[in-house]
Chains A and B, each alone.
Chain A
Amino acid sequence: MKPPKVAFFDFTCCEGCQLQVANFGESLLSILEIIDLVEFREVMSEKWDGVYDIAIVEGSITTPHDVERITKIRQRSKTLIAYGSCATIGGINGIKNNFSLEEIKKYVYGDSAQLFETLPTRPLHEVVEVDYFVHGCPVYPPEFVEVLKCALSGLPYHVPDVAVCVECKFNENVCFYEKGITCLGPITRAGCNSWCINNGNICYGCRGMVSNPNEKGFQEVLKQYNIDLNFIVKRMDMYNTCRLKQNLQGGIQK
């Protein structure tokens, strides 16, 4: 059997999730033994014009050119993996959606603003069909390996749909709410092994919200600790603006 053709692509992002691949160290070589890496612009000059068995795509869609390019990549790919928060939920790039596009363009580029074409930030699945999701900013390497294994063997990968708190409890961290500090763990999808909280920081919600967050319970928690709802919404929109805006407006403005 021929090794599957695998390619990496990046859209609007910081390319940090791709870098997580280089950070595998020597074990990267064993991954490269079973796949045929045909394109990876950040570290390779090679190009490939055939069909990709697996396309691993980082970044969100923010320009008309992005839309064209991802559509073409999708047409040439048997399997498409959305890789990292920018790709799966819009990520930090989504903060832009809190501002009017004209206004933010003008703020950053002044009189040259009219030279731009920019769209509201969208995650990949709002533009093309996505087969697998690897959440996280950056991706959690053990989870990526898991997803890659599933994609290579054609098995589904089920993103954990419980709160980060579940993993956090296993790691025996003291709850931030007990310290009087807000944390997005209660409404954020697990799968990162409560990475940030283990290191003394709070959860910022980079993996997106669980599909059915316990809103009532969360509101009680906020009330119990006397936390203003606006404060938490502001924090949520760091990663989840795309979803929040969609819920508020019944679909993102095109």
Chain B
Amino acid sequence: MSKSFNVNLEYLTRVEGHGNIVINVRDGSLEECRLEIVESPRFFEGMLRGRSVFEVQHITSRICGICACSHSLASIQAAEDAIGFTPSEQTVKLRKLLMDLEILDSHILHIYLLALPDFLGVKSFVPLIDTHNQTVKRALRMKKTCNQVCDILVGRHVHPISCTVGGFTKLPREKDLETMLELLEGMTKDLEETAELMNQLSFPQFERDTEYVALVSEDAEYPLLQGSAIGSSEGITVDKKDYQKVTNEFVVPYSTAKRTKWNRESYMVGALARLNLNYSKLHPKAKEVGDALGMNRKITNPYLNTLAQVVECFHCLYHGMDIIKELMRDGINYDEEIVVGLNEKKSIPVKAGSGVGAVEAPRGILFHHYQVDDNGHITDANCIIPTAQNLQNIEYDMRKLIPEILEKDEEEIVHRLEMLVRSYDPCISCSTHFLKVSFVK
């Protein structure tokens, strides 16, 4: 075959943030294949220097509007770790609930509004309002429910208000717990229908075994907010403090976006990686769905990340409801409601130190790392987002995929590639330290 073509797809759509795909095939062989990041840099790590650990999560949640709660939680974990503060059991429980809500909300956005249009052959959810009205309504309804529950728990979903270093500035009242549970219970039917819908879709065939990386834990809980270590499908684990041994950031000469790799040439993080590492720890309800969808084995087709998200939706919904039921049973200790501005009142002692936060954001493991001085001011900050970790892996996927689909017409090839990138649910707007890309045309 002597096919030649160039693809220069500017501004990938239905992803969060700005990215391009550049492909160059000459005489049937792939000469160039890049996923470029053209997001305007925002210099968050630079901006954090000199800020107090007590205000840092307010700033870092602005790294991303879609996973603002994950950034808040990773940031709080790093800040508390740095000053040597241990949160209460109740606080941890509520943070786990917030993590569940965030993943549920984000996955629904991705499954319905970003990924589904591809499977139904349309460019966005807008034409689906006429052709699949009930489906669109279901998606918006579920999305709204997640938001309502988040509103009750932390004031709002986009940039949560009440979860801060030390705990929560406002704790849900008994009535709030009841309302949250009711709202989530009201979602179960819609989620069942989501699983049915997703089961009917035909996902592209493509396999590439890679390294899968996620938080792992020694206890029986599916680790999202906190795990005991960072684990790999290669059977290796490291302490979260040693996250740099995992990420090994590097620059590739043809594209200037920072990448990561660990034991292989690239690794994958996100829902699929988490399932591949921690399937047995999923909520029984999620396992039931996962088994029915055939996700109860090692999955090496990245397109199925969307199905892994469906399984995790069940986990997060049911795990979240369990937490609320526990809180209803045990009651909430309102003495733990903290007053913000504690740094001004100096009620939490501050000392110099270094702290690492590692949480499972919807798109994969997210690291925040702060060095703090004696006044609790940040002297050094590092944030490594899931999408940065996935970039190299997406590119390796594209390189393997293109030769396999070369016989298809160009439009179809481009569409397959877009779908592939989209299946990772990349969040480019998070780009805390992506590098500028110069175009080669």
Contacts and interface: CB of A to CB of B under 8 A. Distances in A.
**A-B complex is real:** yes
Interface of A: 10-20, 22-26, 28-29, 32, 37, 40-46, 59, 62-63, 65-66, 91-93, 95-96, 98-99, 103-105, 107-109, 112, 115-118, 137-138, 176, 179-182, 195-196, 198-202, 204, 235, 238
A228 B216 CA distance: 46
B144 interface: yes
A42 B169 CA distance: 33
A12 B13 contact: no
Contacts of B399: none
Contact of B126 (A14, A20, A26, A37): A37
B62 A91 contact: yes
B154 A16 contact: no
Contacts of B436: 115-117
Contact of B65 (A14, A46, A180): A14
A186 B124 CA distance: 43
B40 A11 contact: yes
A17 to B, nearest CB: 7
A26 to B, nearest CB: 5
B16 A15 contact: yes
7 contacts: A15-B16, A29-B137, A44-B123, A95-B47, A108-B433, A180-B344, A199-B155
B439 to A, nearest CB: 11
Nearest to A16: B65
Nearest to A25: B144
B129 A108 contact: no
Given A22-B113, A22-B143, A195-B156, A92 B136 contact: no
B68 A16 contact: yes
A104 B43 contact: yes
A46 B159 CA distance: 29
Interface string B35-78: 00000111101110100000100110011111010000000000
B369 interface: no
Given A13-B429, A26-B144, A138-B159, 13 more contacts: A12-B40, A13-B65, A14-B429, A19-B65, A32-B129, A44-B13, A46-B123, A62-B41, A66-B40, A92-B62, A108-B433, A196-B161, A238-B55
Interface stretch (B81-89, B173-181, B314-322, B334-342): B334-342
Interface in B390-438: 429-430, 432-433, 435-436, 438
B141 A25 contact: yes
B93 interface: no
A155 B208 CA distance: 56
Contacts of A65: 40
B353 interface: no
Given A15-B17, A16-B159, A44-B13, A107 B126 contact: no
Nearest to A106: B46
A218 B55 CA distance: 22
B147 interface: yes
Contact of B158 (A138, A196, A201): A138
A108 B43 contact: yes
Contacts of B25: none
Interface string B15-43: 11100000000000000000000001111
A115 B438 contact: yes
B429 A200 contact: no
A32 B126 contact: yes
B46 A104 contact: yes
B360 to A, nearest CB: 20
A62 B18 CA distance: 14
B47 A96 contact: yes
Contact of B140 (A16, A28, A92): A28
A44 B126 contact: yes
Given A42-B16, A202-B340, A109 B433 contact: yes
A168 B341 CA distance: 18
B11 A41 contact: yes
Contacts of A12: 40, 42
Contact of B45 (A28, A108, A198, A235): A108
A42 B49 CA distance: 31
Nearest to A138: B158
Interface string B149-186: 00000111111011010001110000000000000000
Contacts of B168: 200
Nearest to B155: A199
A59 B41 CA distance: 12
B277 interface: no
A246 B16 CA distance: 32
Contacts of A13: 65, 429
A43 B66 contact: no
Given A32-B129, A96-B46, A43 B114 contact: yes
B435 A112 contact: yes
Given A23-B147, A115-B256, A200 B340 contact: yes
B126 A46 contact: yes
B159 to A, nearest CB: 6
A59 B17 CA distance: 12
Interface in B123-141: 123-126, 129, 136-137, 140-141
Nearest to B133: A29
Nearest to A23: B147
Sort A-B residue pairs by CB-CB distance and give the 5 closest, nearest first. Answer: A16-B65, A25-B144, A200-B169, A199-B155, A44-B124
A219 B207 CA distance: 65
Contacts of A196: 155, 161
B42 A42 contact: no
B158 A23 contact: yes
A238 B52 CA distance: 12
Given A46-B124, A112-B251, A137 B62 contact: yes
A176 B340 CA distance: 9
Nearest to B127: A46
A118 B438 CA distance: 14
B74 to A, nearest CB: 15
Contacts of B45: 107-108
Contacts of A180: 344-345
Contacts of B169: 199-201
A199 B154 contact: yes
